[in-house]
């Protein structure tokens, strides 16, 4: 099960959405509380995406990329 879902189609922003309580806690503890939000998702600039995703995985959480065809583990 993925704790965090991210969606980035190569555009100027990516969306990072906590999918579990652990994912939400990680985001609260590691992302700027002033971060721009879109619904329950955090809006992330692509230049920060790799570091954030590596940090999530380094802390033992699961990450998945969300596609229109479903969820794909990355």
Rounded to two decimals, what is the model's pTM? 0.83
For 40, counting Cβ atoms within 10 Å of its Cβ (0-12 exposed, 13-18 middle, 19+ buried), the class is: exposed
Residues 29-41 pLDDT 10s: 999 999 999 999 9
| CATH 3.40.1170 given to domain 4-69 | yes
Please report which confidence band the pLDDT of residue 67 belongs to, taking 50, 70 and 90 as the band edges: low
Residues 17-66 pLDDT 10s: 999 999 999 999 999 999 999 999 999 999 999 999 999 999 999 999 86
List 5's β-bridge partners, or say none.
Answer: 17, 64
């Amino acid at each position: 099960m993925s704790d965090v879902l991210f969606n980035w189609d190569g555009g100027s922003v990516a969306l990072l959405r906590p999918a579990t309580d652990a994912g939400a806690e990680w985001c609260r503890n590691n992302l700027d509380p002033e971060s721009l939000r879109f619904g329950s998702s955090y809006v992330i600039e692509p230049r920060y995406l790799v570091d954030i995703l590596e940090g999530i995985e380094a802390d033992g959480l699961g990450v998945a990329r969300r596609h229109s065809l479903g969820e794909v583990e990355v």
